[in-house]
Amino acid sequence: MRAIVFDLDGTLIDSLPDLAASVNVVLAARGLPALPSAQIEKMIGDGARMLVTRGFAASGAKMTEADLDHFLNYYTAHAADETAPYPGIEATLQELHAAGHKLAVCTNKPAAAAREVLAALNLDRYFTTITGGDSTQFRKPDPRHLAATLETLGTSNAVMIGDHHNDMAVAAGCNIPGIFAAWGYGHATSPYIANAATELPGIIRTLPGAGR
At 161, which helix (H) or strand (E)?
A: strand 158-162
Beta bridge partners of 194: 181
C-beta pairs of 25-28 under 8 Å, 24+ apart in sequence: 25/70, 25/71, 25/74, 26/52, 26/55, 26/67, 26/70, 26/71, 26/74, 27/55, 27/56, 27/59
Interatomic CA distance for residues 164 and 168, integer angstroms: 7
Measured distance CA(82)–CA(61) in Å, rounded = 27
Indicate the residue type of 87. P
Question: Angle CA(65)–CA(70)–CA(74) in degrees, nearest 5?
Answer: 150
Of the residues 7, 134, 163, 167, only one is catalytic, namely: 7
9 has which bridge partners?
A: 13
Question: Any catalytic annotation for residue 7?
Answer: yes
Catalytically active residues are 7
